[in-house]
Copies of this chain bind each other. A is one copy, B any other.
Amino acid sequence: MPNDVYTELCSLKREAATLSSVAHLLGWDQETYMPSGGTAARAEQSSLLAGLIHERETSARLGELIAACEEDAGVQGDPEKAANVREMRRDYDKATKLPGELVKELANVGSRAQDAWKAARKANDFKAFEPWLEKMVGLSRRKAECYGVPDGGELYDALMDDYEADARAKDIEAVFTPLREKLSVLVKDLLDNGTAPDMGPRKVHVPEAQQHAFGLRVIEQMGFDLKTGRLDTTTHPFCEGLAPGDTRLTTRYDEDYFMGALYGTMHEAGHGVYEQGLPKVGDDGEPSAVYGTPLADSRSLGIHESQSRGWENFVGRSRAFWEWAKPVADGYFGDGFKKYSADDVFRAANVVERSYIRVEADEATYNLHVMLRFGLERAMIAGDLAIKDLPGEWNSRFKDMLGVEVPDDARGCLQDVHWSFGLIGYFPTYTLGNLYAAQFFEAIREETPDLDDRIAKGDMSAVLDWSRKHVHLLGRRYTAAEMCEKATGKALSAEPLLRHLEGKLRGVYGV
């Protein structure tokens, strides 16, 4: 019977996914509630689970079943199943291509390099970090060679593929180049010729409990289901699509900067509604038949980020959002906030600044920070940039881009943790997310021309419904590029994001 191999294949994947969901609970718990004394035992639990998952993801039987499904006319004649098997092949090949010794070395050196990075950043001492970065770039290159250079691509693409499957650096660069040039001009124009908004509404003091209650109110309005999800507090906010029917968000609070938590929460809830919308749960509340297979999995980090950035920036930082949210927030934030208008708050949420630190950057300059890193890491992997020359190159590109001098490496090339543990090829997904979000929102607006009026009344269903249909429910059925083309009728380009930022920010700054 042709479907027997497919059924067995899905059930093996489901077992691995179930173990993986348990591993994610270990991770979530470690960040939220685990007492500090549990660290060593947690490492032992996690490592045991990782081993059991790896065994399943690389088992010979899994390989046989994938191969059998690739030859099976019944499976290949069903487009959903064929897509599922295509993606399982991709995962299996990746999981089996890296020698165990390299995986261990990456983990081991990565953990030590991360410690070295922490110390180096604190001491503002790039030289202390340089040998570790050298090692991690070398190991990453070996990893990329094991994967193999993908068709029409370069070594860097093999690394990027872990985060953004099928993407090619040269295609990304073709979109990033006009974005970089026009954003630099926009930022210069805003800051040199425009009028900055009043920062007052950003600085209202709001107790943590009020911020938390308002955050819950907002994410429910977005459509995040609190019966199948929750919101906790951690040092580093994240979203964990932990298991079918169980999606967990975290955020952090600064009582003198409520927008930090609010936009952080909306961002994670954007990830969260994607996880809740993936077809992981059946109508009966049980894990669905495709749970554990690529059809129930998120497409890529760029697509994931399009959901979080979409809600954070395209909804949350819009004038329409504050028309709804301002009177609601008044009920939580007290008199110091009440005196401002919705427009004051909208404008304050769209302040643009020349800052050195990516994670503190605004909606416009953020992409400049990301594209800087993309260019530099791509050059390091290609061997076109020696590690020792990184600080100089960083600082000079930064000056070209934002017009200011980087004061020191701690606020320059030492600021991010990513490279220290081998996250190379990850950065571009942040800006890809913004680009996809912009293109998706143009499509949403085309389908729902009165989107702003609806959002101003608190009705955000047009955003959620469109996203469910064109993104969430598809899992990994299509590549990200195909999904974008199908959903918006066009290949990804810089234009929608530029139109969005130009339109909104020139209005705010009056230029």
Contacts and interface: CB of A to CB of B under 8 A. Distances in A.
B227 A37 contact: yes
Closest 7 CB pairs of A and B: A37-B228, A38-B246, A37-B245, A41-B243, A41-B244, A40-B286, A38-B245
A221 interface: no
Interface of A: 15, 18-19, 21-22, 25-26, 29, 32-42, 44-45, 48-49, 52, 225-230, 232, 242-248, 281, 285-287
Most-contacted residue by chain B among A34, A49, A52 (CB, 10 A)? A34
B34 A33 contact: no
A300 B190 CA distance: 72
A245 B242 CA distance: 24
A41 B25 contact: no
Contacts of A287: 40-41, 44
A215 to B, nearest CB: 16
Contact of A246 (B21, B22, B34): B34
Contacts of A34: 246
B243 A45 contact: yes
Nearest to A22: B45
B243 A35 contact: no
Given A25-B25, A48-B18, A245 B40 contact: yes
Contact of A38 (B22, B42, B243): B243
Contacts of A232: 33
A296 to B, nearest CB: 12
A147 B162 CA distance: 52
A42 B287 CA distance: 10
B39 A245 contact: yes
Nearest to A48: B18
Contacts of A225: 37
B44 A246 contact: no
Contacts of A48: 15, 18-19, 22
Given A18-B41, A18-B44, A38-B244, 20 more contacts: A19-B48, A21-B41, A21-B45, A22-B26, A25-B29, A25-B45, A33-B230, A34-B246, A35-B226, A35-B230, A37-B227, A37-B281, A38-B242, A39-B245, A40-B244, A41-B243, A41-B245, A42-B243, A42-B246, A52-B52
